[in-house]
Amino acid sequence: MAGAGRKVAVAAVQFACTDTVADNVAAAERLIREAHKKGANIILIQELFEGHYFCQAQRMDFFGRAKPYKENPTIMRMQKLAKELDVVIPVSFFEEAGNAHYNSVAIIDADGTDLGLYRKSHIPDGPGYQEKFYFNPGDTGFKAFKTKYATIGVGICWDQWFPETARAMVLQGAEILFYPTAIGSEPQDMNLDSREHWKRVMQGHAGANLVPLVASNRIGKETVETEHGNSTIKFYGNSFIAGPTGEIVKLANDKDEEVLVAEFDLDEIKSTRHGWGIFRDRRPDLYRVLLTLDGKTSSSS
């Protein structure tokens, strides 16, 4: 029907993780069901939600947390849930692939079909976030996945700081961007609080590409035994949903379990995006300079 629009409701869930897989998967399912009751069609769970954020430490035994992509019990459970509820669920997990390991997400469509895999491209390596010890750089490239309700792009945590990630997914047709995340305090400086910067960067991706954006982060304080003693991160939540001009339409706080839901008319947004001209007026012929100047300092003033 003309003028009806293609309306899609998206959700972000936020909760504190224990270090027991069964408890966390059950919590995720409970919140997904709650989001479904609120009308959500596509529901985002936070990054690596099966347990504590183990990357605070460099420990060989933590590789035992990784599981293969195929026949993965958490993915299979979410496939059944997606089919039951008729919802789309991106599922974050620690992937073992032969001798390689990845920070990955499987995209589960509303009929339970596994649409494919994205492996995190940008891997951080700093105090408390020592992911390079565990994860190979992703080899899938950025992707857009055509689901029942929308074509979506999914980046993972550190990917969210790179505008190239968002633009690459939107150029492939992504209508909504999703970022599962695990971010909080900095163990080397507990006074450093990045939450506002974190939100503004992703709001910029939404506004620059004229697409809605959903970010899901965990809450709670997690302490991990490291090779140098205990390390603690207080995760600051602030999961949010941004509209296509970067405006925050739903925002969680930094301490409570929450389910955020917002609805968007994707046809209306598409019309605005095309009329705004940001893709018409791109100059990819000039952007090749990024490949030659990357890491170099220009000599011109």
Q: List, by residue number, the catalytic residues.
A: 47, 120, 157
Length of the chain: 301
**Which is nearest to 294 in space by CA: 143, 131, 162?**
162
Strands 213-216 and 125-126: unpaired
**Which is nearest to 138 in space by CA: 127, 122, 150, 154?**
122
Strands 100-108 and 114-119: antiparallel
Residue carrying structure tokens 């047709």: 173
- 236, 33 Cβ separation under 8 angstroms: no
Q: What would the two tokens of residue 216 be?
A: 């899901």
**Which residues does 191 contact at the CB level (< 8 Å), separation at least 6?**
none
CA pair distance 249, 227, nearest whole angstrom: 42
Residue carrying structure tokens 């999703």: 178
**Which residues does 173 contact at the CB level (< 8 Å), separation at least 6?**
144, 146, 151
